[in-house]
Every structure is written in structure tokens, then in C-alpha cells.
Amino acid sequence: MVCANGSETFIGRVGSFVCVKPEYGGSLVRVKGESRSAVTGTKDFYWAEAEAIREHPDRLNLDYYRAQCDDAVNTINKFYPFDEFVGCDPTDFMFIPEGAAEEVPFDAMNPPEIIKISKDMTLVK
């Protein structure tokens, strides 16, 4: 992690981080050999270890999380209207959207193949 003052902290491969306001965190940087780049999805935001922020929720940058939610809604809208998606009854596992076909053919996988094996463990054709 690289802080605004230029100090660096080695994190390792795994860590739990939350997006925070600029004055409370640093950039997450991936180092591979001589190459340095922002960890995927972290560019232009500041991060701090989750445990350090637990007592200070006011330091969170909620704009990052709102943007993530907006992106998710937009992605869902590409396939199905989001408001209908979240408005359906979660206990109705047989929910069929209005205008959808009543029956959908189940051809997602090949039918099972029946094989017979004789007493001497050879395949019977």
C-alpha cells in the first residue's frame, strides 16, 4: 500500500480492505518484478485495512460502493428489468416473468446414456 506521504507498507498476497476518504488511506499497488500497477478495481480510490476502520465508519468512502451498486444495476438491466428482478417474491422459486414462455425446453445437457455391464465386468452393447 502506498500512502499519500509516499510511505509504503507491504501487505502480501491477501488482505481485507475498504475504500476510505483520501486522508485516511493509500493506493493498493501490485508489484511484479520492476512493474507497478494499481490492483484491479482500486485505481483512483484510497484504501485502508478493514480492521483499522472498524471503529471509524465515518471514514468510509461510500461513493465507491454506490458506484459498484449502480454498475450492478446497469448490468442486470441489460438482461432483465432490475425493478422487476428485485420485486419478485423470493419464495416463489417458480416465478415466470410476464411475457415469458410457459415452458422452456430442458436441453441444456445431453440425455443420460444407459450402459450395461455384464457379470464379468465387461461392457454390454
Q: How confident is the model over 4-38, as pLDDT tens digits? A: 666 677 777 778 889 999 888 888 888 888 888 88
Q: Which residue has the cell 461510500?
A: 62
The predicted structure's pLDDT at residue 90: 63
Residue 92 lies in a domain: yes
Residue 121 lies in a domain: no
Same domain, 46 and 67: no
Residue 110 lies in a domain: no
> What amino acid occupies position 116?
K
The predicted structure's pLDDT at residue 91: 65
The predicted structure's pLDDT at residue 93: 62
Is the confidence at residue 2, as pLDDT, over 90?
no
Same domain, 14 and 52: yes
Is the confidence at residue 53, as pLDDT, over 90?
no
Same domain, 10 and 52: yes
Same domain, 82 and 100: yes
Same domain, 56 and 69: no
Q: Could you give the number of structural domains in the chain?
A: 2
Q: Which domain holds residue 75?
A: 63-105
Beta strands in 40-99 (DSSP E): 46-49
Instruction: Evaluate whether 10 touches 36 at the Cβ level (below 8 Å).
Output: no
Residue 9 lies in a domain: yes
Per-residue model confidence as pLDDT tens digits over 68-119? 999 999 999 998 888 888 876 666 666 667 777 767 666 656 666 677 777 7
∠78-80-82 over CA atoms, to 5°? 95
Return d(Cα 35, Cα 100) in angstroms, integer.
51
Q: How many CA atoms lie within 13 A of 72 on its CB side?
A: 9
The predicted structure's pLDDT at residue 5: 66
Is the confidence at residue 40, as pLDDT, over 90?
no
Same domain, 31 and 9: yes
